[in-house]
Amino acid sequence: MSNTLPPLPYAYNALEPYINEQIMTLHHTKHHQTYVNALNAAEAAYAKASTPKERIALQAALKFNGGGHINHSLFWKNLAPSAAAGKGNGGVLKDGPLKSAIEQVWGSLDALKKEFNTATLGIQGSGWGWLGYNTQTKRLEIATTPNQDPLLSLVPIIGVDIWEHAFYLQYLNVKPDYLNAIWNVINFEEAEARLVEASGNSKL
């Protein structure tokens, strides 16, 4: 089945002033659409491939564009209009399973943000910063992946795109400013729903 570009759950300008309309429009309609188109082309070519060599040759395109589609589809839901800007619930972590799970590991949301941003800034080039759930240890962990690699070792709870196309038009090369700002539009309600689903238990 062909992959399609998912609609944003908010307007392109809804995340301002933290992520501006121009970035969101280009990021969604151009960058994500390109991953979708290229993934569909790679899948079609794979279906027609008649030899192992041909199928192996398509692995890189499937991984890159498939990861781009998976990661961005999660990323859009990860964000919400900001409470600090009086627009929505973005950036607000209420009492509940997610807050408890964060405090269990880091002590506070601010401590998580600091460690998350430090780890994500350590990415060489492009990639993603993740807050993930380890189904073995039943704890949250911070992880990073290069390029468009999806998070496979953990269940993704929050993902932050650190590709330049996600921030450069607004923050230029100052990645720390972007990472500090994005917490104002993180949809913690969506993240908590993912955590509850991953853990299979609303009473974490």
32 is in an annotated binding site: no
Omega prior to 17 cis, within 30 of 0: yes
What are the structure tokens assigned to 38, written together? 């290229």
161 is in an annotated binding site: yes
Helices of type H across the chain: 21-26, 33-48, 52-57, 59-78, 97-106, 109-121, 168-171, 175-182, 188-199
Give the three-state DSSP class for 39: helix
Q: What is the C-alpha to C-alpha distance for residues 49 and 55, in angstroms, rounded to an integer?
A: 6
31 is in an annotated binding site: no
165 is in an annotated binding site: yes
For 22, phi then psi, to 5°, come to -60, -45
Do 65 and 46 meet the contact criterion of CB atoms below 8 Å apart?
Answer: no
Contacts of 153 (CB under 8 A, 6+ apart): 132, 143
| Binding residue ranges | 27, 72, 161, 165
| Binding residue ranges for Mn(2+) | 27, 72, 161, 165
